[in-house]
Structure 1
Amino acid sequence: MPAPASPSARLHEDGALDALFALGQPTRLRVFRHLVTIAPNPLPAGGIADALGCLQNTLSTHLAILSRAGLITGVRDGRSILYAANFDGMRGLVNYLLEDCCGGRPEVCAPVFEQLERSCGCAPAPTAGS
């Protein structure tokens, strides 16, 4: 039986699970990907609903789940909330997933980071032992 995770590692794992759960639903994945494509420009919920052909009343639940998972941010603008992709949240998820990449040989994971950098400029920095 594996040793129990430390409290800080457990919280990190819980955060990764929350983010993966949030992205594991088709509408939420489409919302996140859409916000990435229009970054850094935020959109109100109505604009997201229109762009994706979603009902606004169900979209608010999806936005709340993505926000709690740290994948999007919402900023109040008058009576509206403007939503944007949270690249720091996605970096955290990618870093967690690749933390022990290739048995501590970061050069093996370099192509993954290089591809992220080329595609969006949001590559996480490889860390020692990853």
Structure 2
Amino acid sequence: MRRKNQTCMIEFPHLWIPIQSEQQGMFFALFLGMYLTMVLGNLLIILLIRLDLCFHIPMCFFLSHLALRDISFSSVTVRNMLMNMQTQEQSISYAGCISQMYFVTLFSCLDNFLLTVMSYVRYVAICQPLH
């Protein structure tokens, strides 16, 4: 009986944008700035909807949940990318890859669900306004 290859992968290499070491600081600052702007903007949306009583309507409720989902979705991927850029590590562990794929899929499905519910609420408001 022939022996099969029983090699076990514990890390996967990153195959994304090749960045030279002299440009690494510029790209890190660029991605960090975009990430922080996105997080602070979405947190501002959530705070504004929660604090102001005139925004307590169903559509704003869904918008605040979309903002929270946006923070969660980008935190899954961008934080890991920023950490790998800073430490110059070019691989991700198997468990890290599986958990990142799980959360990306989860937040993508949650986004589709929220957009579907928002469109249904808008449909009911337009087609059956008194129900």
Give the alignment's TM-score, normalised by structure 1: 0.31
Give the alignment's TM-score, normalised by structure 2: 0.31
Ranked by relative contact order (alpha carbons within 8 Å, sequence separation 6 or more), the top structure is 2
Higher helix share: 2
